[in-house]
Amino acid sequence: MKSRKFPIRFENFSLSVDGKSVLENITLSFVEGMNVLYGPRGSGKSSLLRSIVKLNTEIFNEISRSGSVYLFDQNVEDLDDIYVRKNALYLDTSFIDAMNQYTFDEFLKLALKRKISLENFSEKLDDLGILRMLIRGQKTPLSVFSPAEKISLLLFILEQKKPRVILMDCLLDHLDDENLEKIMDMFLKMKEERTFVISTRILQRFLYIADLLVILNNGRINYTGSPKDFVLRM
Ligand SMILES: Nc1ncnc2c1ncn2[C@@H]1O[C@H](COP(=O)(O)OP(=O)(O)OP(=O)(O)O)[C@@H](O)[C@H]1O
């Protein structure tokens, strides 16, 4: 029951990169549903999210850490990388840029690792605004998609793959209001029995959707709680 309610937990977790402290004594439980992680540039949002999927060790040469991170009540350090990647997906803006090098069918094959019949999904793809973008059919390069359309395509992939945890690192900060609203509607439909953590540098845009709000500053937690309590405290 505990893991369903708090799928991700940090206990006294600290991280240093090249001898510099990046996260300090983080104790935090993300809830099932929509978590919003707000912090200014360099506050440690990416480092925190990457700790959940063990990506910091791949990126940085010199890291040291103490404390623990738990995914579904299991210490991530004890978990197999394949299990972690299957259950928790980390997406940042570099992912959106990387999509440019693929055509629609190449990307689908790569992401889903199986062939799907588009006819079965044409209604869904139409709803997501993707169908009309396929100007060269399945061979359409994703470079013609806008960031919002790429995110819609990612949502389609997420619906097929069903990872239980989705970590979106400042991915939605660059969307305009209209596209953000459309995409947030889709997220809210998908959040049942899933855990989203959306990191952002623009708090106001995401306050209304948060089940839990976490504010990070200089590698430390400044606030954890409901957005409503946060607003009332201001
Ligand atoms: N490649 C790097 N090498 C060394 N230190 C780094 C590197 N990238 C980040 N850091 C350190 O980690 C700290 C936290 O960075 P992090 O990227 O986690 O913050 P962030 O809140 O995600 O920032 P942003 O909003 O700009 O993405 C930074 O202040 C920086 O000192």
**Residue-by-residue pLDDT tens, the chain, 234 positions:** 445 579 999 999 999 999 999 999 999 999 999 999 999 999 999 999 999 999 988 888 899 999 999 999 999 999 999 999 999 999 999 999 999 999 999 999 998 887 777 788 888 888 888 999 999 988 999 999 998 899 989 988 988 888 999 999 999 998 888 888 888 888 888 877 789 999 999 999 899 899 999 999 999 999 999 999 998 887
- What are the domain boundaries of the chain? 2-233
Cα(219) to ligand 1 centroid in Å equals: 10
Cβ-Cβ contacts under 8 Å for 31 (sequence gap 6 or more): 5, 6, 7, 195, 211, 212
CB 175 within 8 A of CB 149: no
Cα(1) to ligand 1 centroid in Å equals: 34
> Mutation test of ligand 1: which of 14, 18, 43 has the most ligand atoms closer than 8 Å to its C-beta?
43
CB 44 within 8 A of CB 219: yes
Class of the CATH domain delimited by 2-233: alpha beta
CB 147 within 8 A of CB 174: yes
Nearest CA-CA partner of 112 in 164, 150, 54, 154: 154
CB 38 within 8 A of CB 215: yes
Nearest CA to ligand 1 atom 26: 41
Q: Is 69 helix (H, G, I), strand (E, B) or coil?
A: strand
Nearest CA to ligand 1 atom 1: 60
Q: Is the CB of 205 under 6 A from ligand 1?
A: no
> Mutation test of ligand 1: which of 18, 41, 199 has the most ligand atoms closer than 8 Å to its C-beta?
41
Angle between helices 147-161 and 104-112 (to 10 degrees): 30
Cα(165) to ligand 1 centroid in Å equals: 22
